[in-house]
Chains A and B, each alone.
Chain A
Amino acid sequence: MSFPWAKHYEPKQPLMRWLDEKLPLPRLVYNAVGAGYPVPRNLNYFWNFGVLAGAALAIQIVTGIVLAMHYAANAGVAFGSVESIMRDVNAGWFLRYAHANGASMFLLVVYVHIGRGLYYGSYKAPREMVWLLGVVIFLLMMATAFMGYVLPWGQMSFWGAQVITGFFSAIPLVGEPIRVWLLGGFAPDNAALNRFFSLHYLLPFVIAGVIILHIWALHIPGSNNPTGVEVKGEQDTVPFHPYYTAKDGVGVGVFLLIFALLIFFSPNLLGHPDNYIEANPLSTPAHIVPEWYFLPFYAILKSFTANFILDAKLWGVLAMFGSILLLFFLPWLDTSPVRSANYRPKYRIFLGILLVDILVLGYVGGAEANARNVILGQIASAYYFAHFLIILPWVARSERPRPLPNSITEAVLAKHGGTSIAHSAAQA
């Protein structure tokens, strides 16, 4: 894998040479995220978000392991054990706020990371496998985040678990038995809380494993870049270290700064007050809403209010899962050979509409379900599906891409006022 001009690991230090002979782990790291990985020289700041997602996962695992030392996964004491972490454990408030807000930061950077992939066509050949593994990671993250939110055993934890596991009961005939089997009871209780804790501890390590595959798959074709044009030669790339480690340092700094502002000054901004009320199966909250990162999908679920062949609830559940699963087919739905939306005038507009559309869905997901909001959600959901399943497969037919630069280096030099041979040469 990698390009022929990639630097080779040559340890000078005797100890490192000895280690390299017995176990070439430093070599692996060198080739993965060191000077041995040549990367296009023109990446913009959107390419920081993969590293940021990795950092966020590391923070979640470290804070989570320490929290698990103090947390008790028992429906009778879970809420109280979280309060004792907040009050009596040394820096427990910091660990818990870092972990709760860390989940939000993780999802936030992953959404930007996915958006980057959509805009610059990073899902297209030869990087389909990178994209597929990414969607797997996203699904695992959603499951982990959901189960983590149940653990404090507050009102939103309990009722969120009730609603989400209720999706399974939409399956005809076998739905209800499956739901009861998954929960270990007729409603979320101790059995459910215990298995959620077990899985919440397990899945992050599964995510870490799939991330290794994700990076492995990425290193075969190498990173995409804002022009979407493949690397042609050595002049198009720079070694990952020190060039992108230095750039990622800036990204990590800004990420941590925003993260710190959340933890220390507004730790409950993204949470729901009801989760500071202990779970009570006899009292339903006025509005059951998921965490912000699930709101667009929740809006899609709620938009299906009509029975048509299937029950409205089943349509909603199918659509909600479908809205994520369709991402698996993206590499084959988009037939345009041009990767970067910078050179796709029509697709770029639809992608802009999709961004607004998802924000609207997010708003609707958290808002009161009055007629105006429901209709807004229905229109926005319709666009979501139309975008991926109807517009995306056909837009390339009537689109005339802008001329691509011949190479990354040419694009870089043109940007810096060099000769713009791009225009005449790449007219398709």
Chain B
Amino acid sequence: MPRIIASLVGAAFVFVLGLALFGTAKTAIQEPAAESAEHVFHLHPENIGLSSNGFFGKFDNQQLQRGFQVYKEVCAACHSLKYVAFRDLAKIGYSEPEVKAIANQWVIEQPSINPETGEAATRKNVASDHFPSPFANEVAARAANNNALPPDLSLMTKARHDGANYVHALITGYRNQPAELLKEFPGSKTPEGLHYNPYFANLNIAMPPPLTSDGQVTYSDGTKATKDQMARDVAAFLTWTAEPNLNARHAAGVAAALFLLIFCFLAWGAYQNVWRDVKH
């Protein structure tokens, strides 16, 4: 009896799934899904091979400092970095006085109050402050950016598939909309105020091209500031802002893996020893 009830319940589910399958197949034949421009023209980023990749990967502080310079001189005009503090810069090789100077000279000041009157005011940044947002609030940010909101960059490389590669591809990927796209999808013309970028999910991004010419920043270490180089450096920097403990993580990982390999080996030996006289 239980078997018969079970079979009836099972048959009910299978029957309803059969109906559903029939419906799906009918729709698929009658109205085949149309291809979309996003589907056909979207490109996947190529690998930029950062020094932090791989089991023994470590950040290249020189590169992170160059990337920080790009952030400071280009990105910071619109993008916040709210989970990162000025003091964190010590971890990428800046000395304490340098960190203090960077904080003190940062163009955007920290919101504060006037200690005498209690009115809203701003003060200079100190090392323990997090990077201040370039906009007072979301409304201000949208008002200044054609109603688009520049996202916070602290976690950007972990918040997108293929993080660092994506950042590099996106900021170097701007181009004119291909003629074939418009021929195939006449309705998909990039709207006014947006910019065509095949690495962006829907192909049209609100952010204008941030890197417009080689030499936009001047690196103090003599590296030639090509657009590609600046994009690589800032992608590396944002990898660090998203995962500041990566060096420690990799170092601990190598030690842990070695320890556990030895542990497994010893455990295997103990197992063989204990079972040596028992067939199993």
Contact = CB atoms under 8 A, between A and B. Distances in A.
Interface string B138-166: 00000000000001001100111101000
Interface residues of A, number: 66
A178 interface: no
A265 B244 contact: no
Q: Of B3, B16, B25, B27, which is in contact with the most chain A CB atoms at under 10 Å from its CB?
A: B16
Secondary structure at the A interface, as helix, strand, loop or mixed, is helix
A322 B249 contact: no
Contacts of B244: 87
A261 B13 contact: no
Given A276-B155, A386-B14, A253 B263 contact: yes
Interface residues of B, number: 61
Contact of A306 (B10, B16, B250, B257): B16
B83 interface: yes
A354 interface: no
B33 interface: yes
B271 A389 contact: no
Nearest to A368: B39
A389 B13 contact: yes
Interface in A76-115: 80, 83, 86-87, 93-94, 97
A264 B271 contact: no
B3 A333 contact: yes
A315 B267 CA distance: 50
Contacts of A393: 2-3, 6-7
Given A253-B260, A306-B23, A385-B10, A378 B17 contact: yes
A267 B248 CA distance: 14
A371 interface: yes
B3 A276 contact: no
Nearest to A392: B6
A306 B19 contact: yes
Contact of B2 (A329, A412, A416): A329
A79 B273 CA distance: 50
Interface in A115-161: none
Contacts of B15: 308
A257 interface: yes
Contacts of B160: 273
Nearest to B156: A276
B280 A42 contact: yes
A238 B25 CA distance: 57
A413 B280 CA distance: 8
Contacts of A277: 151, 155, 159
A379 B17 CA distance: 8
Q: Which 10 A-B pairs have the closest CB atoms?
A: A264-B253, A389-B10, A371-B28, A253-B264, A276-B159, A393-B3, A306-B20, A249-B267, A246-B274, A385-B13
Given A83-B154, A261-B257, A371-B24, 4 more contacts: A249-B270, A260-B257, A306-B16, A370-B33
Interface of A: 41-43, 80, 83, 86-87, 93-94, 97, 238, 242-243, 246-247, 249-250, 252-254, 256-257, 260-261, 263-265, 267-268, 273-274, 276-277, 286, 303-306, 308, 312, 315, 319, 322, 326, 329, 332-333, 335, 370-371, 374-375, 378-379, 381-382, 385-386, 388-390, 393-394, 412-413, 416
11 contacts: A41-B280, A80-B83, A97-B249, A246-B273, A250-B271, A264-B252, A273-B159, A276-B159, A326-B6, A332-B2, A393-B7
